[in-house]
Amino acid sequence: MSQTVDRALSILPLLAEGPAGLEQVATRLGVHKSTALRLLRTLHEHGLVYRQQDQRYRLGARLFALAQQAVEALDIREIAHPHLAALNERTGHTVHLAVYEQGEVVYIDKVDSRYPVRMYSRIGRPVAITVAAVAKLLLADLPEPERRAVAERLDYPRYTARSTPDAAAFLAELARVREQGWASDLGGHEESINCVGAPIHGPDGRVCAAMSVSAPNVVVGAEELLRLRPLILRTAYAVGEELSGQSAGGPRDDDPGPRGHHLDEDEPSDEDTDA
């Protein structure tokens, strides 16, 4: 670890003890006050420390937000994994779990297909955000201004002829996902790969994660995969219920349930593939 990074990280446990002034930080680190100030300013720019009116520094809100995100992601993965494994056992197909953080949609769990053709996706790897079913579900639940801002700053690679072409098309797709409560990627990233996903709702009713089932055409066609939608929705519903500490009875096949049917609006109104 570089000396600069080591010194910067050493500031955080010091401030965890309580607010500290520049001289106290410099003394603890054994550096000149100008060096300590430079490190504090960098941490401040990233929201990891905050300078109070009395000129002392304390831990910043961004640090707590990151810690909370990490805890929530771990909890979701732990709770969801048995459900993902059961869905994989029943269908035989690859199952993914993903969350949205720091402007990216990232896989946090995966259960591989039982078939010889495997998905190249990996835990910790960002997905192709403009086409993946899990990404559509997570971005569709964002407040409208944030959703639009995200869509307008994205690039739109043409992975296949079915890839999302631009921000307008992406926003229209997100609107459909909000309305129907599920998402698909039918050859948008790889022509031979299809995927169907469902949202997982947290205790506050918002979408905190998304899960999907993916399969190549050589194993199962798009229409047959889409017929698994009720099962995928029930699985996502069960994860959400357990995450919220409620009974996980789940909706009927023809009724995804109050949380799986519509993503609440805030305003009126793989073969190296991603899923």
- Kindly report, residue by residue over 148-169, the tens digit of the pLDDT: 999 999 999 999 999 999 999 9
3-state DSSP assignment of residue 114 = coil
Give the CA distances from residue 154 to residues 43, 92, 165, 190, in Å, rounded to whole numbers and listed in that order.
27, 34, 11, 19
- Alpha carbon 236 to its chain's center: 14
Residue 63 has pLDDT above 80, yes or no: yes
**Where do we find the tokens 């409620």?**
246
**Rounded Cα gap, residues 31 and 20, in angstroms:** 15
Q: List where CATH 3.30.450.40 sits in the chain.
A: 68-243
For the domain made up of 68-243, give the CATH fold.
Beta-Lactamase (3.30.450)
Q: Which of 5-9, 85-89, 108-112, 151-155 has the lowest mean pLDDT?
A: 5-9
CA-based nearest residue to 16, from 52, 57, 51: 57
Q: Are 238 and 96 in contact (CB under 8 A)?
A: no
First-to-last alpha carbon distance for the chain, in angstroms, is 35
For the domain made up of 3-59, give the CATH fold.
Arc Repressor Mutant, subunit A (1.10.10)
**Rounded Cα gap, residues 31 and 51, in angstroms:** 19
Q: Are 240 and 202 in contact (CB under 8 A)?
A: yes
Q: How confident is the model at residue 273 (pLDDT cuts 50, 70, 90)?
A: low
Q: List where CATH 1.10.10.10 sits in the chain.
A: 3-59
Residues contacting 37, CB < 8 A, separation 6+ = 22
Residue 221 has pLDDT above 60, yes or no: yes
Residue 264 has pLDDT above 70, yes or no: no
Q: How confident is the model at residue 62 (pLDDT cuts 50, 70, 90)?
A: confident
**Rounded Cα gap, residues 94 and 91, in angstroms:** 9
> What is the value of pTM for the model shown?
0.67
Give strand pairing partners of 59.
49
Q: Which of 25-39, 147-161, 190-204, 257-271 has the lowest mean pLDDT?
A: 257-271
